[in-house]
Amino acid sequence: MRALWLLPLALLGSCASPAPDKTRLVIQRFFGACEAEYGRATDIAKAEGECGIVTTMINRFQAENPDVDVVENVVFWPGYDQLTAQLAANDAPDLVTMHGSVISDYQARGLLEPLDADLAAIGAPPASFTTAARTAVTVDGRAWGLPIDTWAPLWHINMNLFRKAGLVRGGKPVLPRSPEELYAQAQQFRERTGKPYLVQGAANEYAGFTRNFYTFVMQQNGTLFRNGRATFATPEGRNALQLFKTIYDRDFTTKNQDYSAAVAGFLKGDGGVFLVGTWMVGTFDAESRKTSGALANGGYTVMPYPKLFAREATFADGHVWVMPRSNHRRPGERAAAIRFLKFFAGHAKHWARTGHLPAFQAIIDSPEWRALPHRDNLAILATTAQPLPKQVRRQFPIETIVGTEAASAISGAKPIDRTLSDMERRVNEVLENL
């Protein structure tokens, strides 16, 4: 009878036993789990979506490298609490997915391994990355990871409504070239369609406000951070907030929608332009191939943020493979990790199907990538997408502060000048207490 009680424990124990004579490689990632659909898939070309493609890639690597025992840890997005805990316990995985904006937080504390030499050895030197991807992984002149992609907020456009609004010329959407043109086109759009020009997920969702603010300050050649301190209370900052406050005040945008409601709203034709990132390109394009729905019959296209001020620029971030520092990692395990990075770089073209911008310039220049839907419109992002300076640490909490403050100014709850000084003060408090 006692043995019966022990049976479940014994079964559980047996599941965890490591494969003998194999090098253990622990890969920790976000992007969700899709084992039911892709648990055994190895044909990367047939995989779809972030989860499907990354799972299939790891399966394929495992199949091609029988001497390596890949342990895949899928963590709840973004997984930094777990990673920090693992580093504190000196139990770091061999490779981890990380946002480019987070790298400097870990690098500054000596928690990452530089990978310059390894990247060069596997044929993926930083020179082969796009400007945006190279910037994302470079701190103090060294590369701290293999970039997976670059993502940026985009203008997802309902072409059916744009046609109705008279804002299509030569099959292309007519986009504004200044704030005044934007207001005029939004006015025209509303008069002809009865709908707001913009769709925004703005309720309980502050990242969008931050991305807009950063983007339009960057377009004015404004300085967001100088010598490690925020400098938001500037004329450029004021213009960026005033732009969206005017849009809000003149009802050129949907209001009170959270992210999910905004996605659904755009799919139902609530407005002309949805401000959201690269990750939605595939979903919206699939909708446009249907014969019914607001985006039906090719009624969708996507463009980078239009140049409303002095230069083309869009705030960007990206995903990166990094190698946390570990006292326990054996040379064989490190070699297996580098082998995986080489494998990933060799198959990076498949990741481009997720909608994110490829990290390698050669892929962006390839006819294969350009032939993917809408990618020609987005190729310019390889040079115009711009992350924050790497000296800026704690970019996730800063994003929340900037977003909440911007939201209060745009909704009229707080004057713009006071908002900018509050935003600057609060962010500098974070930066001063590192």
Partner 1 sequence: MTRSRLAVALVVLAAVLMLVPLLWVLALSLKANGELMVDTASVFNGRFTLENYRNLFGNGAVFRWIGNSLIVSLGMTVGVLILASLAGYGFARLEFRGRDALFVIVLLGLAVPEQAVIIARHQMFSWLGMHNTYQALILPGLSAPFGVFLMTQYFRAIPKDIDEAALLDGASRFTIFWKLLLPLTIPAQATLGIFTFLSAWNDYWWPLISATNKDMFTLTVGIASTQMNFAQTEGLGFLMAQAVFAGAPMLIVYLFFQKYIVQAVAGAAGR
Where do contacts with partner 1 occur on this chain (CB under 8 A)? 8-9, 11-12, 15-16, 30-37, 39, 50-51, 71-77, 81-82, 84-86, 88-91, 259-260, 263-264, 267-268, 279, 283, 293
Tokens of 167: 């804002």
Q: In what order do the strands lie in the sheet with 68-74?
A: 68-74, 23-29, 95-99, 319-322, 146-147
Bridge partners (DSSP) listed for residue 281 = none
Q: Which is nearer to partner 1, 98 or 364 (CB)?
A: 98
Note whether 426 and 401 are within 8 A (CB): yes
What's the min distance (Å) between Cβ of 350 and partner 1? Answer: 18
What's the min distance (Å) between Cβ of 204 and partner 1? Answer: 11
Sorted by sequence, the CB contacts under 8 Å of residue 212 that are 6+ apart come out as 153, 240, 244, 275, 406
Q: Which is nearer to partner 1, 58 or 122 (CB)?
A: 58
Note whether 96 and 83 are within 8 A (CB): yes
Bridge partners (DSSP) listed for residue 85 = none
What's the min distance (Å) between Cβ of 82 and partner 1? Answer: 5
Q: Which is nearer to partner 1, 80 or 183 (CB)?
A: 80
SS3 (DSSP) at 16: coil
What's the min distance (Å) between Cβ of 291 and partner 1? Answer: 15
Sorted by sequence, the CB contacts under 8 Å of residue 138 that are 6+ apart come out as 126, 144, 390
Separation of first and last alpha carbons in the chain: 57
Q: Which is nearer to partner 1, 38 or 155 (CB)?
A: 38
Q: Which is nearer to partner 1, 65 or 73 (CB)?
A: 73
Angstrom distance (rounded) from CA 35 to CA 58: 12
Question: Could you give phi then psi for residue 45, rounded to 5 degrees?
Answer: -65, -25
Q: Which is nearer to partner 1, 113 or 287 (CB)?
A: 287
What's the min distance (Å) between Cβ of 433 and partner 1? Answer: 16
What's the min distance (Å) between Cβ of 88 and partner 1? Answer: 6
Bridge partners (DSSP) listed for residue 23 = 68
Q: Which is nearer to partner 1, 102 or 143 (CB)?
A: 102
Torsion sign across C-alpha atoms 40, 45, 46, 50: positive
Sorted by sequence, the CB contacts under 8 Å of residue 384 that are 6+ apart come out as 304, 312, 313, 314
DSSP secondary structure of 125-175: -GGGB-HHHHHHHEETTEE-SEE-EEB-EEEEEEHHHHHHTT-EETTEE--
What's the min distance (Å) between Cβ of 28 and partner 1? Answer: 8
Q: Which is nearer to partner 1, 8 or 170 (CB)?
A: 8
For residues 397-434, b (16+ Cβ closer than 10 Å) or e, as one string? ebbebbbbbbbbbbeeebebeebbebbbebbbeebeee
What's the min distance (Å) between Cβ of 292 and partner 1? Answer: 11
Q: Which is nearer to partner 1, 157 or 175 (CB)?
A: 157
Neighbours of 216 (CB within 10 A): 25
What's the min distance (Å) between Cβ of 64 and partner 1? Answer: 22
Q: Which is nearer to partner 1, 68 or 224 (CB)?
A: 68
Angstrom distance (rounded) from CA 141 to CA 372: 34
What's the min distance (Å) between Cβ of 36 and partner 1? Answer: 2
Q: Which is nearer to partner 1, 139 or 148 (CB)?
A: 148
What's the min distance (Å) between Cβ of 62 and partner 1? Answer: 15
Note whether 434 and 394 are within 8 A (CB): yes
